[in-house]
Amino acid sequence: MEPHISPVSQSDDQISLLMLLQYLLQEKVGSKVISVAVTPNGFADAVNGNRFVMPEERQMSFSSLLDIVEGKIKSSAVFYVQKQCSNLMEEIPELTGDVQTHIPWMSEALGKLPDAVNFWLGEESAVTSMHKDHYENLYCVISGQKEFVLLPPTDRPFIPYELYQPATYRQKDDGTFEIVDEENSPKVPWIPLDPLKPDFERFPSYRHAKALHCTVKAGEMLYLPSLWFHHVRQSHGCIAVNFWYDMEYDIKYNYFQLVEALTNAVGSL
């Protein structure tokens, strides 16, 4: 039986906080030009048919983005601030007076500062497909909430990977999107499975996976360990900041490499 999948809802208090934060962002960085991921369906960096499709990356003012998120401007596309190259520090450093540039106790525990501090804001339709990162991740929700599906690295034998031709969405003048192949680029290994609607006929091994479901609300922080698989949804207009600390390539990484090598050699269990 497939699980019931409901929208990520917000309370009236969360909506009021979101409106206040959006107003403050409009006042403080409304004129700043930022990088925004634009897709027809909210699925950026995800499998679409036989392609791994990345979003169109559009430069636009923060004010214009907020007008779309707030519904003042209608668009058939889905917009998401998700550029994962320390965009908080690189594109909107004006916010660092209100947002910490690192988490002191984590920096002390790991003996280093984060490699990247990323700012996230987007529409409810924007979904992060299942993947893993080579970072220790502290994910902090400022307003709204995020819904995580989490799987440990030891579940790698049950998680399917396939190779896909990389491509990019491009919006045409009539508002529709086309998928443009990235010529001469190597194929990308990616997970074709949606953990909210798993196709057990195609991926029977996934029945053995033990997914954790976690809701992170405004004012809460999630520690997402390196190499953990995760899939993320959000409430509309959710604002978050995450801190990426580079992982140690120690025995934990060697163990994961062994599990992955064995999985590739014998196939899914």
- Tens-place pLDDT, residues 125-144: 999 999 999 999 999 999 99
**Tens of pLDDT along 1-53?**
334 455 666 665 555 656 667 767 888 899 999 999 999 999 999 999 999 99
| 135-143/46-48 β-pairing | unpaired
Q: Which neighbouring-strand residues pair with 186? A: none
Cα distances (angstroms) measured from residue 218 to each of 21, 87, 148 = 12, 21, 14
Which residues are within 8 A (CB) of 98 and not within 5 positions of it... i.e. 6 or more apart? none
pLDDT of residue 146: 97
Per residue in 234-259, is it b (16+ CB within 10 Å) or e — as a string? bbbbbbbbbbbbebeeeeeeeebeeb
pTM: 0.90
**Cβ neighbours of 187 (radius 10 Å):** 11
Q: Which neighbouring-strand residues pair with 59? A: 35
pLDDT of residue 214: 97
Short-list 140, 104, 146, CA closest to 127: 146
Tell me which residues of the chain have a pLDDT lower than 50: 1-4
**DSSP H or E run through 252:** helix 251-266
- Answer for the pair 38, 169: CB distance below 8 angstroms, yes or no: yes
Which residues are within 8 A (CB) of 96 and not within 5 positions of it... i.e. 6 or more apart? 88, 89
Give the integer Cα–Cα distance in Å for 268 and 208: 11
